[in-house]
Amino acid sequence: MLLKKSWFSFRWRTPDESDDDTSEGSRSPEERLTEEEWQAINKLLSYQPDETLASHSGKDMPNMILFMVTVSVDQAAARIVDINHTEILCCKFEQLQVSTKSKHQSTYCDVSCRFYGLYAPEGSLAQSVSSEQKANALAASFVYHPVGENVDQRLSATISPCHVTVLMESRDRFLDFVKRSNAVSPTVALETATALQMPIEKVTRRAQEQFQMVLEEQSRFALDIDLDAPKVRIPIRTKGSSKCDSHFLLDLGHFTLQTKDTQHDKQKKNMYSRFFITGRDIAAFFTDCGSDCQIRTLESPDSDNHAPVTLETVDNFYSLIDRCGMAPLVDQIRVPHPSYLSMRISIQVPNLRVHFSPSRFQRLMKLLNIFYGTLETVGQPAVDNFQAERAPWSPADLLHGC
C-alpha cells in the first residue's frame, strides 16, 4: 500500500490478487517495500520541473541568468575608395564586444572596444590611446533595474583619450570626393543622403523621447561618465611649403558627468534633474617643430600636484590658455512648464590665464589662414609675410605671465 498519495499512486499487484489487504500481510518482509522506499518512489513519480525553478525563487533568483547574448568582432575595417581606386579614408576598430544578459528583474548591456582609428594617405586622423588605467578605448555598461541600488536605470562609461590630427590635404580630398560623387550622380547622392538622414533622425528623435519619458516619469537614474576628451593637433605650414613650421595643440582635458542626490527643496527637486560636470587639464598652446612636436606633448601626469607648463620650463612653447578646469552644473526640467526654464546651466571657472604676444598673434593668424584661406586684402600684407620683429610691441603691451 502506498503510504503517501500521489498523482501516480498504485499498488504492486498481480491479476490473481484480491482487493483485500490480507494478501499484503501474507508476504514475507523481504518481498515488501519499506516506508523509505515508498517515499522515494512517490517523490520520483511526483517530480515537477517547475519545482526546481521555484526552489531558486528566493536568494538565488536575482543572480540567475535567464538568457545571454554576446557578439564579438576581433577586427574590422572600412575604406572609402574613389573611381581611380585611390583610398580616401580608412576606418578600423579592434576587439569590439557587445553583450546583453537578462536576470530575474534586471537587464544588463555592456559594450567595449579596445581600439579605433581613422586614417588617410597623409597619416593618422584620429586614433584612441589606451593606458594602464584605461585599457579599452570605450567601456560602457547600462543596467535596467539594478539589484540593491536605489535607482531604476544606471549608465556608466569610461572613454580613453583620442588623438586627432587635422590634415587639410585629407579634408580637401574628402570634400572633392563628395563633390565629384554629387556631380556624377546627384540623384543617387540625394537618395543616399535621404536614406541615411531618415534613420539618424528617427534614432535621435527616439532617444530624445525616451530621455524625456524618463524625466517625466521621474524615474531614478544614475549617470557616471569618465571621459578623456580628444586632444587635437593642427600642423601649421607656410603657404606653398610642405614643411611644418609649428603646431597648434588643443587639449580638451578630462571630464566627468555624474548625478547625485541633492538637498534642494522638494519643489525644485521634483521639477529638475541635476547633472554635475567637472573638467580639468584644459589647455591650448603653440609649439614649434623641433625635437619633440608630437601630440604626446599634450599629455599630462595624473598626479594632482601637476604644475602647469610655463614658458620658462619648455623651449619653443607658446601657451595661449594655461591648464585650467571648470565645473558646469546643468538642471534639466522633468516636465515642461511655462513658468520654469527647460534647462539651466551655470559654469564656474576657478582660474583662467590667457597669454598674448606678437609671436602668438602671428601663429594665430596662420592658424586662421588655414581654415579661412589667405587673409591678404587690398593694402594688407599676407599673414605668411608678417614678421613680429618688424612690428615690435612695447614692454607695456607684454605683461609677463599674462
Chunked mean pLDDT (size 10), the chain, 402 residues:
44 46 52 79 66 54 79 92 87 93 87 94 91 88 83 89 90 83 64 77 81 66 90 82 81 90 50 87 86 43 39 66 92 82 89 88 86 49 42 43 40
d(CA 265, CA 177): 57
Amino acid type, 197:
Q
Q: What is the DSSP string of 352-381?
A: --B---HHHHHHHHHHHHHHH----BTTB-
Separation between Cα atoms, residue 254 and residue 248, nearest integer Å? 19
**Kind plus residue range of the DSSP H or E element containing 211:** helix 186-216
Residue type for 281, please?
D
| Helix-strand-coil split of the chain, %, nearest 5 | 25, 35, 40
- Answer whether 266's CB lies under 8 Å from 232's CB: no
In what helix (H) or strand (E) does residue 51 lie, and over which residues does it extend?
A: helix 49-55
pTM higher than the cut 0.85: no
Confidence at residue 261, expressed as pLDDT on a 0 to 100 scale? 60
How far apart, in Å, do the first and last CA atoms of the chain sit?
102
- 384 three-class SS: helix
Find cell 610655463 and name the residue. 310
Question: What local confidence, expressed as pLDDT, does residue 270 receive?
Answer: 63
Q: With contact defined as beta carbons under 8 Å apart, do 271 and 218 qualify? A: no
Looking at the DSSP bridge assignments, the partners of residue 68 are 101
- Cβ-based neighbours of 243, under 8 Å, separated by 6 or more: 237, 289
The angle that helices 186-216 and 168-184 make with each other, rounded to 10 degrees, is 110
How many Å apart are CA 269 and CA 220, to the nearest integer?
A: 12
Handedness of CA 364, 365, 370, 371 (dihedral sign): positive
278: nearest Cα among 304, 253, 256? 256
- Grid cell 574628402 is found at 174
Q: Which three cell numbers stand for residue 373?
A: 584661406
HSE (side-chain half, CA atoms, 13 Å) at 319: 23
| Residue 199, H or E segment | helix 186-216
H/E stretch holding 204:
helix 186-216
Strand partners, 77: 92
What is the reported pLDDT for 138? 92
